[in-house]
Structure 1
Amino acid sequence: MHIYLYEPRADRLNGLMAELRSAKMKPVPIQATFFRGELGLLNRGGHEDRPFLIAENPELMEQITALRTAGCSNPIMVMRDFRNSRDTAAALDAGADDDLVIPVKSIELKARINSILRRSHGHSAESIEVGEVIAYFDGRDPEVSGATVKLSRREHAIFQQLVLNAGRVVSKGSIYDAVYGMSEDQPFDKVIDVYICKIRKKIDQAAESGHNYIETVHGRGYKFSAAADEMGRVGGM
């Protein structure tokens, strides 16, 4: 999971970077000038799920407003050294999704981010059931026909993009950007096809019905969905 991190204090930045990496997140440090750039580019497919973690600073309100004015739906989380109810209320009213007092452990931060993301995609629970598949948003491997299906870290990241958008077509470019977009060693995008093939094989082999849950929609991308006679089983748990 990529996360944009704004912390102007170098000593705090290094500690936060280490904490986020310990939870398998990929922090991308940004500068104040980032908020004065072309923020509309964040609205491209695959970028809208990347959260912002912004330290309290004199320009905080302007930064939040700039993101929301540009149409960015990315989760925004504010970090503070001390609780201040008035400032917290102002940040939330301006468009922030959460307001935290540091230090905060990465395991809690990741859970808060996952909660915001799944609600933004219309899922209120910690998991979604699609036919025989139970997909979790907290990092657990999915269950298919009652059996746990082991996914690698990269497979899990791609699988989550599919299940967050269950029933809808997700473009390969959107998946690529969500998983590799800010990586320094971006692989050729054909790698998405390879991972999709691996995930599809694992899910289909475990599904007792034999249904192919991941459909390739030629020229558009991929769709994760239940069989037509199981569509009534799609929903949160």
Structure 2
Amino acid sequence: MSARIGVITFPGTLDDVDAARAVRYAGAEAVPLWHGDHDLQGVDAVVVPGGFSYGDYLRAGAIASLAPIMREVVDGAAKGLPVLGICNGFQILCEAGLLPGALTRNAKLHFVCRDQTLRVENSATAWTSGYAPGEEIVVPVKNAEGRFVATAQTLAELEGEGRVAFRYVGTNPNGSTNDIAGVTSANGRVVGLMPHPEHAIDLLTGPSVQGLGLFTSVLAAVAGAPAA
């Protein structure tokens, strides 16, 4: 029986279909989850996809973080449920308190859309175990509010505890502190990143297939086995 991975849709979500496709490419069942529901439908993991939930009003991800489904995600994460936040999903996870720091306007105040090289800094999370430490992957990045910031104390904790999951290589597209592209929770079950791995799963539509590793990694985590 294949793993069941939930993909949340909020008003303004754009990449839920792409995330569900990545889940299926990885060999799991994609389960649609609606923002207004209180039911995770017994899924084994959750993807909070990218887009512009609620039009990015107030702050990107702020309103979505209060949606009924996110209360279930927060409760599930406290019990070890693997959760991945991509772009707007990363913003939502930060706003919901599942990940530290915040995502703010890009340093040059421009929307950035490009293929981006990332370095895998932590390969011991539920979503990165299929990568080698230090491995470089190419996935698209597209955001206007992708600059990761945090207090000096939080940054020191993230760096000291190895909780930077991904780091930008070469050009930093949005001015993120310490070139941070993604971070992980202390237990490695919750990961958020600004670039879009779901857009790098098929050479027909993406710059590589290297983004698929996040989705195959979580299958191993759910099964309790090492990633291939």
TM-score (norm 1): 0.36
Higher helix share: 1
